[in-house]
Structure 1
């Protein structure tokens, strides 16, 4: 082990789970947080409690977050890297038909929880000249019908990352916004309320980004020389590109 510690949120599936695997394989200790305790315990069972420390709580619960942080064992308390991966999209309806509750859930999860954990860990990250990697999305730049609040939250994540870079000038802390496009994880299942057929249709024949692709990208970013910062990196599968503007004709 190299002595470094990463805190990875949303570690129970998709990008988060793959990133845990990649960093443990690379010799890091990992604080793995997420809602599904049984999946977190599987990570601990596979890698050992000396390599993975599981924190089961809802990222929206600030009190639980603070308690979990305060109780970190000494071997996991020195956080060198925060990967803000936890997030979700809910629904595909146009704004005028969407329910307000899912919008609020996306804002609290993708924005409020992310900034809360970031602020909580900043003193340690500054002390250790660490790094923050925020998982944004191509939806932060390229709007699409039904993306509304999800795209808005990810635009916040990208801009917040740039703002952190400005504020942390001179501290040695690196900040990166990673903005993936189409990726086949549980993302669409969550977005559609568990519609496997919808997920299968979306990814069929597209050769989308995989969770391992993103984990490898995060590994590369985290292990760059300390004088280099990747401000933002946008990833798309080759088979995804940019569509024409919409034109409504009378």
Structure 2
């Protein structure tokens, strides 16, 4: 089973203006770590390969090397000034071209969302552009002869699907727990293995479909949100506490 995992190097420091993705302010998206672990487990169970694909500036190199240390076989970074300013649709367009560049593949995996933008849109948008069957929040994956059996939990319901390959999935954050990379694998990833850099020109991307030009949405401004909260303890028996809480919520207009 040949698997492509799309990952992101996310911003860890809240911006006060234009986002600048420097190495000291970026990290491996935590929602992508269980995705990579799921891919590595599938490779160990069914053989094949795991390729990690990301889009971003050269500083994303460190995240891709972390993925190599965690068990990925190949790392590819889509990096080009033409991609700067891409919204989710433009990002999906670029990833679609990158995935076609890496074809053939059996399974395409994404995290449910990212910790910086938190839209959850890129995975489904990419799958639509590739015309792939898509399922969100997968918890367990079994490969059959010519299809996958996928389980996901939605609220209190367990759903089971059969999907023909190739297919795309987002992996639920609690599906698996990521293993720790060994010191040897980290040294090999950072000192010996290669991160392939692919440009927009190599992908034959139309400049009008990516970056600012290909983004129908814009971030107009950003500002920190001030939260003035205080903690007020209510004493007494459980019944007294409940009655006092209801009185306070009613007086503040939060309940009628």
TM range (shorter): 0.3 to 0.5
Higher relative contact order (CA 8 A, sep 6+): 2
Higher strand share: 2
Question: Based on CA coordinates, which of the two structures has the bigger radius of gyration?
Answer: 2
Higher helix share: 1
TM-score by length of 1: 0.38
TM-score by length of 2: 0.37
